[in-house]
Structure 1
Amino acid sequence: MSQFPIIAVTGATGHLGRHVVQALLDKGVPAGNIVALVRDPARASEFAAQGVQVRQADYAQPESLSAALAGVERVLLISGTDMQNRVEQHRNVIGAAKDAGVKLIAYTSILNADTTAMLLAADHQATEAALRESGVPYTLLRNGWYVENYTGNLAQTLPHGVLVGAGGSGQLTPAPRRDYAEAAATVLTEGGHDNATYELGGDTPVTLAQLADEISRQTGQPYAYVNQSVPEYTATLTGLGLPAGAAAMFADSDAGIARGELSTASGDLRRLIGRPTTPLPDAVAASLPR
């Protein structure tokens, strides 16, 4: 008999979900106790080969969620990417989890969700409210920015030599996805996290200029931060082909950086993972394109 519950991870083939599944395995959770919920099981063949249960599930299809969550005791709800419908989709997962008798729902929210003025936070605030109203024990994992938000597109931005944004001299506390994934794995495998809220971020605050300088140092190429006003940055993003709504959302998030809303000194992330968060130089080095 395993000491671990049956744990489901939504979006398991996504950037964060893959790290969470690996973190669970690293913690000694038997592969058969992990349920990878994915829209396309064909993309999860590596999990299946390890013995992880792979089940088809789609946030937008409640009937698929009911079957996928059968027998699951704890679930990580990774926030969806459909910006038009994700609150409804999150409610679908929460409702299916409640019907399935799930004992804990952990949710990847956004840092300082209850106080930030960022437009991006609205869906997270609504989802947090839905969790509280559900009656199912929950854990709010309020994730800060990922280092990979800036290193993941370097193949496109590095040749231009600039990181453009609207964050001014505001500080943020980014950490790599792996750190956030380890925190989620801790909550999913341990007791004592019912109805808890964690403000998660790296140990060391940095500005976007400092982040750009570190990338330049490691790549050996000129790379500097160029600050724009929110309207200017919105126009820059639309000029690069982003839809107007997405461009406005990204620019508004940078305004949140300028206000300090993506920074935390809580120490919650280091406590959950049982070590200091990954230093920025190490995080940048690990995520640079190869």
Structure 2
Amino acid sequence: METHAFLKLQRELKSLREQAIKDSANPEEIDETFSQVFSELSAKTERNRTLTIFFGVTLTLISCLAVAVQFLVTSVYDDPCLIYMHALPEELSRPIADCSMCKDLTTVPRYDFITKEEFELKHAYTSQPAVIAKGTENWTASKNLTFSYLKELYLATADVDNIQGDCAFFGYRTDFVSLKHAFESITTEMENVEPGSPNWYIGWSNCDENISSVIHQLSSKPYFLPERSRQYNTWIFAGSPGVGAGIHIDTVDLPSWQAQILGRKTWTLTPPPECEHICQTINATLNQGDIIVVNTNQWYHSTTIHEGSISLSIGSEYD
């Protein structure tokens, strides 16, 4: 039985070797690693063979993991410097995507109008993204919701030091360590994009009920979402031209929508590795008033703000 298991392991290791080389690993390094494994396996006594097999498999897994990391860096991410530290665990733990979400897509579908029924059939729960032009047309947010207004609301909150609680804050490439720090650091010159002012981009989920109430007065549930769907925490993103979020994938539970309240922002959506053979990277530019719907748990995504003014967007997950 041990001889049979040993031969079976040899065949599996050889198969892994071929796959690693196929995925662009260095053949010489792989051969050297596997040669050492096979040599050690053959030389060990019966007493030590089980332990040797364990270490051989471990070395193989490490080698394959190195190939996976190399693939992520060279094939999935545009710029390795933009990789977040948690990206690899997210990639290894996320569910395998259904590639029908991106098959035959060469651009993000864009609608001037879409019914609830058509949206639910094509986009609501299929992970296929969509842009609904002027989706915020009946909102007052584009006239009344500004970054300065949000800043005043938050800083006027009595418990501003603890306002975030367990809610998320992302400082991206800035030095901001909290939402309060960001609001206190972003000057009028930075808001007005005056020449020489530093670039900045931040995002956060809102945990304050009073601010949620204000935002809901200025916006509403997007008209195309299914009647039965519910919305959850509000997310807010803001920043200056030329910057945005680096490419990443989220670990939220549901698909989401994001409305462009001010400015223009381009989204770049990259399919997951298992779909790259039939899918391609696609882009969508949101003008003021547009709404994008995308499953950020399945699509790798990045954003870039256009010149002219700061960008402000709000969004939410939905079920």
TM-score category by the smaller chain? under 0.3
Could you state the TM-score of these two structures normalised by the residue count of structure 2?
0.19
- Select the structure with the greater relative contact order (CA < 8 A; seq sep ≥ 6): 2
- Please identify which structure carries the higher helix content: 1
| Structure having the higher Rg | 2
